[in-house]
Amino acid sequence: MIGRVFNGRYRITERIGIGGMAEVYKAQDQTLGRIVAVKVMLPQYAADPEFAARFKQEAASAANLQSPYIVNVYDWGHDDGTYFIVMEYVRGTDLKSAILQRGAINQRKVAEIGSQVCQALSVAHNQDIIHRDVKPQNIMVQPDGNVKVMDFGIARAKNSVKSQTSSVLGTAHYISPEQAQGKELTGASDMYSLGCVLYEAATGQLPFDGPDAVSVAMKQVQEEPLPPSQVKPDISPDLEAIILKAMDKNPYNRFQTARDMKQALDDFLMGRPVNIAGAAGGFASAPTSVMGSVPGMASEAGGTAVMQPIGSDTGMKTNSYRGGNDIDMGKAKSKKRGPLIAVAAIAAIALIAALAFAITGGLGGGDKVPNVIGQTQEAAVQTIEKAGYTVGTVTEDYDAETVAGRVCKQDPEADSDLEKGGKINIVISKGVKKGSIPDLSGMTSEQAEKALKDAGLKAQYAGNEASDADKDTVSRQDPAAGKEVDEGTTVKYWISTGPEDTSVPNVVGSDQASAKAQLESAGFTVQVETGDYSDKYGEGIVMSQNPNGGKLEKGGTVTITVSQGQDPEKNKVTVPSVTGMSQSEAINTLLSCNLAYALDTASAGSGTPGTVAKQSVTAGKKVDSGTVVTIYVVPESSNSTGDNSNNSGNTPNTGSTTN
């Protein structure tokens, strides 16, 4: 896979992880010049239509989630039978690795991580997307300490056509009881999983463990977790209460929204009183349970199954997270007293509810403002008017926690007293405020920090690197310039140390084309010069280079000198003048000059017998060694015997003096 280019754009450079159905690779976006992460479906699943549909759904769902605490999805596609998703490349380490390396994490840091994860989940839940696989492996801790939630790999929108599948997905150590039994899920399931994550981060120990996934899942359904303070005694009672509320077996007793859980964690961090009971749901808000036919389960009126606490015969549970005289972490000390306490509690609650009805709504008392937070403007108007109120002003504002187009604020607040016919003002979210990332190229570190601050973004120096950029200026940034991002997004930048010195390869003896390609691939500029004739190097072969070896900065010039081959004049000889010489003298002269000869006595014409009357090649001309020069010799008398006796005609001779 290394070196492969997906869709002609994303070049794979290294593998950085593998999951249950996909591998994750680091890659270079050759169009935008940035580093990205590419998730590639494993081959055994690529041909499975169901897995392929889930993989594509992940990309579609995650691409719509915009938050500083969610890993961005840039692109997805299909290339040569393989599905892939292109995501933001996050530098840092996953929370699971941090826990394994360090053990229990500082509890304030645990609360900060939990608050940021809640904000990410709130964005998803507002779009009816449940993560379904919240675990420390999917929470990346960046160098600046902030986190990003990734891998909505098994997330599904509530209105998805596949939302009714009975497949149980997720990791056993972190799945909610209802997820373990394949029940329909709400955002409260993610709250339970996050509670397990915070439990492990705060104590360094999993809340439930076992020899296999099935045994762990059974414990999620049937067993209560050991209180964190019994694992790590110095843990804050408030943080313990938040974690245990999130991990309540009954989804109605947990935090009902990520916003509620975030509020509790923020109160803990700010040193404010943590109001667990008022955060969401609570005992009084849970529908009455009746015994179901499934052991360990109680059937709700709305069709959602709720787990029965262990040791309870009623399906109801007292919400207490700190020890008391009679109840320890929500468990009755006496099994016999449990049902009696539960029955008494139900009776008390019923009486309180009846009194409340009689005092307020039943007797025409003060009216309560409906909660329209998170609704579309149209739905909010209908809700307000249906409750007997009118809509006042409708304004817009940026809100990082509420998806654009939905109500993020209302005045008066929900559950406030307001006479019928009163006005309720609403604010519609414009989503997270976005800005364009400035181009930091050529800026100094100080200039880059100021430019990002002025743009409402956070700057993070990521280190030095050798590059073609001028020394001490920005060589690279991530995300790239011009991208629209949320206000407050962290932009990393690198400072150039100048071009990197690279070894110059030796290309002497290579042909010109190969030598040029080799040097250019090493990052050098090539200058070609024509050299002299050479017996050693053929025509077009590099006979020398400058510099030859050593180090040179990338982009530097290497000069190569190319041979012209052998000197064409080197083997040339000058034809001597043999006219007027005797035949033997002419022959010896030609042979001494490395020339061949031929005799012609028939065409010599008149002259002194036995002498050369003329020659075929003009004297003084340069010819190749071994060239035949015909000499025309005036014949002797008929009774004469001479050298022409065997060479009448034009037979060439290359050196035999007998001729």
Binding residues: 39
**In this structure, are 148 and 243 located in the same domain?**
yes
Q: Does the residue 208 lie in any domain?
A: yes
pLDDT of residue 652: 55
Binding residues for ATP: 39
Domain limits for position 415: 366-429
Per-residue confidence band for 632, with pLDDT thresholds at 50, 70 and 90: very high
State the residue for tokens 């995650």: 62
Q: Does the residue 157 lie in any domain?
A: yes
Mean pLDDT of all residues in 633-645? 58
**In this structure, are 139 and 264 located in the same domain?**
yes
Name which residue leads in pLDDT, 625 or 121: 121
User: How far is 116 from 120, CA to CA, in rounded Å?
Assistant: 6
Per-residue confidence band for 190, with pLDDT thresholds at 50, 70 and 90: very high
Which of 90-94, 138-142, 578-582 shows the lowest mean pLDDT across its residues?
90-94
Instruction: State pLDDT tens for residues 443-469.
Output: 998 899 999 988 888 899 888 888 878
Q: Does the residue 305 lie in any domain?
A: no
Per-residue confidence band for 170, with pLDDT thresholds at 50, 70 and 90: low
Instruction: State pLDDT tens for residues 78-125.
Output: 888 888 999 999 988 899 989 998 899 999 999 999 999 999 999 999
Q: Which residues of 394-415 are buried (b: 16+ CB within 10 A; e: fewer)?
A: eeeeebbbbbeebbbbbebeee
> What is the phi-psi region of residue 170: left when phi exceeds 0, alpha when psi lies from -120 to 50, beta otherwise?
left
Q: Which residues contact residue 46 at a Cβ distance below 8 angstroms, ignoring those fewer than 6 apart?
A: 52, 81, 82, 83
Residue 182, phi then psi, degrees to nearest 5: 70, 25
Q: Does the residue 119 lie in any domain?
A: yes
Q: How far is CA 651 from CA 234, 368, 611, 658, in A?
A: 117, 130, 18, 13
Per-residue confidence band for 53, with pLDDT thresholds at 50, 70 and 90: confident
Percent of the chain with pLDDT over 70: 79
User: Tell me, what DSSP letter sits at residue 188?
Assistant: H
Any idea what the CATH number is for the domain that residue 483 is in? 3.30.10.20
Active site residue 133: yes
Q: Does the residue 295 lie in any domain?
A: no
Per-residue confidence band for 400, with pLDDT thresholds at 50, 70 and 90: low
**In this structure, are 84 and 9 located in the same domain?**
yes
Q: Which residues contact residue 188 at a Cβ distance below 8 angstroms, ignoring those fewer than 6 apart?
A: 176, 251, 252, 254, 255, 256
**In this structure, are 385 and 402 located in the same domain?**
yes
- 164 pLDDT higher than 80: no
User: How far is 39 from 151, CA to CA, in rounded Å?
Assistant: 10
Greatest CA separation for the chain:
164
**In this structure, are 241 and 171 located in the same domain?**
yes
Q: Does the residue 124 lie in any domain?
A: yes
Per-residue confidence band for 637, with pLDDT thresholds at 50, 70 and 90: low
- Among residues 223, 257, 282, which one ends one of the domains? 282
- 314 pLDDT higher than 60: no
Q: How far is CA 517 from CA 359, 524, 548, 554, 628, in A?
A: 90, 10, 16, 15, 46
Mean pLDDT of all residues in 49-53? 75
Which of 189-203, 348-362, 569-583, 610-624 shows the lowest mean pLDDT across its residues?
348-362
Per-residue confidence band for 433, with pLDDT thresholds at 50, 70 and 90: confident
- 641 pLDDT higher than 80: no
Q: How far is CA 556 from CA 501, 506, 543, 586, 624, in A?
A: 9, 15, 20, 62, 45
Percent of the chain with pLDDT over 90: 41
User: How far is 204 from 160, CA to CA, in rounded Å?
Assistant: 37
**In this structure, are 124 and 271 located in the same domain?**
yes
pLDDT of residue 360: 39
pLDDT of residue 489: 85
pLDDT of residue 511: 93
**In this structure, are 128 and 268 located in the same domain?**
yes
- 625 pLDDT higher than 70: yes
Average pLDDT, whole number, for the chain? 79
Mean pLDDT of all residues in 16-23? 77
- Among residues 452, 471, 496, which one ends one of the domains? 496
The amino acid at residue 86 is V
**In this structure, are 192 and 103 located in the same domain?**
yes
Q: Does the residue 583 lie in any domain?
A: yes
How many domains does one find in the chain? 6
Any idea what the CATH number is for the domain that residue 9 is in? 3.30.200.20
Instruction: State pLDDT tens for residues 373-399.
Output: 888 899 899 999 999 999 999 999 887
User: How far is 250 from 164, CA to CA, in rounded Å?
Assistant: 21
Token pair for 578: 């043999």
**In this structure, are 477 and 529 located in the same domain?**
no
Per-residue confidence band for 167, with pLDDT thresholds at 50, 70 and 90: very low
Per-residue confidence band for 258, with pLDDT thresholds at 50, 70 and 90: very high
Query: In 51-120, at which residue ranges do the beta strands (DSSP E only) sit?
Result: 73-79, 82-88, 93-94
- 420 pLDDT higher than 50: yes
- 317 pLDDT higher than 60: no
Q: Does the residue 323 lie in any domain?
A: no
**In this structure, are 247 and 388 located in the same domain?**
no
pTM exceeding the 0.85 threshold for the entire prediction: no
pLDDT of residue 643: 44
**In this structure, are 225 and 136 located in the same domain?**
yes
pLDDT of residue 277: 63
Any idea what the CATH number is for the domain that residue 224 is in? 1.10.510.10
Name which residue leads in pLDDT, 645 or 600: 600
Q: Which long-range contacts (CB under 8 A, 24 or more apart) does 94-99 make?
A: 94/136, 94/137, 94/138, 94/139, 94/140, 94/141, 95/136, 95/137, 95/139, 95/140, 95/141, 95/147, 95/197, 95/201, 96/135, 96/136, 96/137, 98/136, 98/141, 99/136, 99/200, 99/201, 99/204
Question: Among residues 29, 75, 94, 133, which one is catalytic?
Answer: 133
- Among residues 59, 89, 119, which one ends one of the domains? 89
Per-residue confidence band for 362, with pLDDT thresholds at 50, 70 and 90: very low
**In this structure, are 422 and 485 located in the same domain?**
no
Return the axis-axis angle of helices 237-246 and 258-270, rounded to nearest 10°: 170
